[in-house]
Amino acid sequence: MNDSANQFRRIAVIAKPDPAGHLTSTLQLLHQVLNSRQLMLLPDQRTATLLKLGAGLSIEELAANCDLAVVVGGDGTLLHAARQLADHRIPLLGVNLGRLGFLVDITPPDIAAALHAVLEGHYEEDQRFLLQAQVGDQPPTLALNDVVLHKWNIARMIEFETWIDARFVYTQRSDGLIISTPTGSTAYALSGGGPLMTPELDAVALVPICPHTLSNRPIVVGADSRIEISVCGQTDPRDVRINCDGAINLTIDEGDTLRVTRHPTRVRLLHPVGHDHFDVLRAKLGWGELPKT
């Protein structure tokens, strides 16, 4: 149990578009719970529109004023909020309106009970580290799941060199490379054959995307490693992109280096009491299910 009776007084609500139409009813329920506890709801712009609460607040205004952020949507919505709120140390609670949902683990029917419990201090906190990616002199960009170097708009492989802590690792020809946190190990890296990592590990996985040499296998290194990648060989840097959490695209120029390091501030995720990472994996990945006849 956590002493949050006076800790969470100003609750931000961040929502994504919901074509299935469940968003409005979910937000209304959240609003009722917060009103019943005489707590302040700070809506983002979409939430404010649906609940008729005025113009709403920007993510920067929410970060400066809230004690807790309730994210209503899928993992992508939570990833976006996590990148924006991480440096403010705002805890995040996820309500799943998406599909798979490894990070947003409260279902709409459980919202009232789960939110009351959290506001009374009954929750488990899970802290996840982020990566920061920097190309040349550009400002660094954050990623909670992964940083992906990949080919762009061509039907052939790219070639690049990888260095870890100033030590040369390899020159690789492939469709790209996924640099994944433990959080991201259930995302794109999983599809690429990478290892599943438990969230508390201080480790990063480097997962090749369709490598030309089959001996190029995923590598797991310490989270404090400094990873550097440069385009080489016949590859034109204009045919390469860098993507952070599947949402932010960066370009790389001739002579530039992609540098990936651990971000100094961690994301705070809140879960209902009894949350178990392996329960989530079994449920989401269908482990142990018998084949259907």
Indicate if 75 belongs to the active site.
yes
Q: What is the DSSP string of 248-282?
A: EEEE--TT--EEEEE-SS-EEEEE-TT--HHHHHH
Tens-digit pLDDT profile for the chain (293 aa)?
A: 565 456 899 999 999 876 556 799 999 999 999 999 999 999 999 999 999 999 999 999 999 999 999 999 999 999 999 999 999 999 999 999 877 788 998 988 899 999 999 999 999 999 999 999 999 999 999 999 999 999 999 999 999 999 999 999 999 999 999 999 999 999 999 999 999 999 999 999 999 999 999 889 999 999 999 999 999 999 999 999 999 999 989 999 999 999 999 999 999 999 999 999 999 899 888 887 766 66
Catalytic residue among 44, 75, 105, 245: 75
Q: List the 167-174 sheet strands across, edge first.
A: 141-143, 131-135, 258-262, 227-231, 158-164, 167-174
Which top CATH class is 10-128+266-285?
alpha beta
| 85-121 exposure pattern, b = at least 16 Cβ within 10 A, e = fewer | bbeeebbbbbbbbbeebbbbbbebeebeebbeebbee
Report the alpha-carbon distance of residue 90 to residue 77 in Å, rounded.
Answer: 15
- Domain 131-262, CATH 2.60.200.30 — does that match? yes
What residue segments make up the domains of the chain, in order of their start?
10-128+266-285, 131-262
- The whole-angstrom distance between residue 175's C-alpha and the CA centroid of its chain comes to 23
User: Which residue, 184, 212, 182, is CA-closest to 200?
Assistant: 182
pTM of the model: 0.93
